[in-house]
Amino acid sequence: MKLNDDHFCFACGKNNPDGLQIKFTYPETGQCRAEFVPPAKFQGWQGILHGGIVSTLLDEALAHAVGGSEGGGGASGAVTAELTVRFKNPVKIGEPVILAGRVISDKGRMVEAESEIADQQGNILASASGKLVRPAKR
């Protein structure tokens, strides 16, 4: 299966006007980072980012960390096979957060990565670990 990027990804696609449009940077190989200000349209409880969006942010950071290990940036040629999310504190609407991801282990087709969302003071609000799989080449 070949994965094609048409830049319409809900999380990072620049062509998706309804998406999150996260813009990652790649400070080191196998790492990614982004700043994000949660808008009210993705609210769950009043003033708090919906947990599904929190999970999406963490999942996207896993994929971009893998992409950062594959040549310097962009989404990876891998898909999430497993995602474990830990919610620690609310992610507040309208307050900037830092999203970071890093590869822990790369075994070819299987990659393990971690990600986190922190507030501007460095307090971890949510974190995730996951396994991503690169499709077999055909």
**138 lies in some domain:** no
Residue 2: the pLDDT is: 74
What's this model's pTM, rounded to 2 decimal places? Answer: 0.92
CATH number assigned to the domain comprising residue 51: 3.10.129.10
* Amino acid identity for residue 23 in this structure: K
Residue 71: the pLDDT is: 58
**99 lies in some domain:** yes
CB 125 within 8 Å of CB 119 = yes
- Residue whose structure tokens are 């971690």: 114
Q: In angstroms, rounded to a whole number, what is the distance separating the alpha carbons of residues 98 and 34?
A: 6
**123 lies in some domain:** yes
Residue 64: the pLDDT is: 93
Residue 131 has which token pair?
A: 């396994």
**19 lies in some domain:** no
Q: What is the mean pLDDT of each run of 10 residues along the chain (138 residues)?
A: 82 92 92 97 98 98 85 68 98 98 93 97 98 83
